[in-house]
Amino acid sequence: MSSGILTSARLRLPGRLRSAYIPVLATAGLLAAMFVAGGVRYTGFASGQVVLNVFIDNAFLLVVAVGMTFVILTGGIDLSVGAVVALSTMVSASLMTDGGWPPLLVVPLVLLIGSALGLAMGCIIHYFDIQPFIVTLAGMFLARGLCYVIGTDSISITDPAYTAVAQARIALPGEMSVSVSVLIAVAVAGAAAYVLHYTRLGRNVYAIGGSEQSALLMGLPVARTKIAVYTISGFCSALGGVLFSLYTLSGYGLNALGMELDAIAAVVIGGTLLTGGSGYLAGTVLGVLVLGLIQTIISFEGTLSSWWTKIFIGLLLFAFILLQRLISARRA
């Protein structure tokens, strides 16, 4: 009887693996179709530099979405990421411009602030058993309010070293180039993928997302893992803020309004279940590229308002949520 059960499990396993890959493959197919359609319709669209420009323009969003992936995989949510990005730009700009601090001191301080805020929210969520939506909403208001305590106007960053890094380009074959922010974002995504798929922390993240109660019964460190993912999200948000300040060379309290929704959209379009327990970091990268390519196509079109970006993202979210629902029903 036991051998029959094992044989049945082996037979079912490949199908389950295939179903887990369907959303990621769908996102990859959508990205390829959009790129081919853009190349057919617009002159100069089908080039490597266009793809690299999508990375350049969305490096900060990719880093923020990486942190959001950790949170959503546990079945949680983090609404504070956009406000933390704005706070990071304000702290960086004010310290470097008004305080005269060197970037080598400012950047670690900003990352520490973001990580500490994420750590605090993770502790409150777990130990006080409060919904992540409420706690991170409070964190969003706190971070956004602190921005206006620092200043209500935009602050330009004029530090020569910081400006040099922001304007630097790394040459690639074929007369193409990328910014330093892209290299940082790719490194973060690679490190996150390794952590999620090859470390104990990653296995615990998936286990908690699948069933927190079962994870507790198995003796997994649920408290430590949940606090860790919100700390990671806070760190990634702060780092995203640093990259955003490199992109704009300024700090402003209204920066990154709605970025938390863009990050959630990228994660969901990338195939990660909002209920947690299933998803891949590669899917999040593809989701960010899809959002960026939508903006690129609209800019090439020239006749469409930027608000069409939100419309297309909304339609894609509906489609991928329905796809996730169909896959979940099939597994059941």
Residues 154-186: pLDDT tens digits? 999 999 999 999 999 999 988 899 999 999 999
Rounded to whole angstroms, the Cα distance separating 186 from 56 reads 11
Name the nearest CA neighbour of 143 among 135, 132, 153: 135
Rounded to whole angstroms, the Cα distance separating 114 from 111 reads 5
User: Residue 227, CB half-sphere, CA atoms under 13 Å: how many?
Assistant: 13
- In angstroms, the first-to-last Cα distance of the chain is 23
Q: What's the pLDDT tens digit per position in 276-300? A: 888 899 999 999 999 999 888 888 8
Name the nearest CA neighbour of 261 among 323, 310, 322, 297: 310
Query: CATH assignment of 21-331, given 2.60.120, 3.30.70, 1.10.10, 1.10.3470?
Result: 1.10.3470
- For 68, other C-beta atoms within 10 Å of its C-beta total 31
Look at residue 238 in the predicted model and tell me its pLDDT. 98
Phi/psi of residue 307, each to 5°?
-65, -20
Mean pLDDT, all residues of the chain:
89
Where residue 106 falls among pLDDT bands split at 50, 70, 90?
Answer: very high
Rounded to whole angstroms, the Cα distance separating 92 from 155 reads 10
Residue 10 has pLDDT above 70, yes or no: no
Which of 17-21, 96-100, 134-138 has the lowest average pLDDT?
17-21
Look at residue 323 in the predicted model and tell me its pLDDT. 75
The residue whose two tokens read 């489609």 is: 319
- For 289, other C-beta atoms within 10 Å of its C-beta total 25
Q: What's the pLDDT tens digit per position in 15-57? A: 444 566 888 888 899 899 989 988 888 888 888 888 899 999 9
Residue 306 has pLDDT above 80, yes or no: no
Rounded to whole angstroms, the Cα distance separating 26 from 323 reads 9
Look at residue 101 in the predicted model and tell me its pLDDT. 93
CA 259 from centre of chain: 9
Residue 166: C-alpha distances to residues 125, 179, 245 (Å):
36, 8, 9
Higher pLDDT, 253 or 310: 253
Rounded to whole angstroms, the Cα distance separating 221 from 31 reads 37
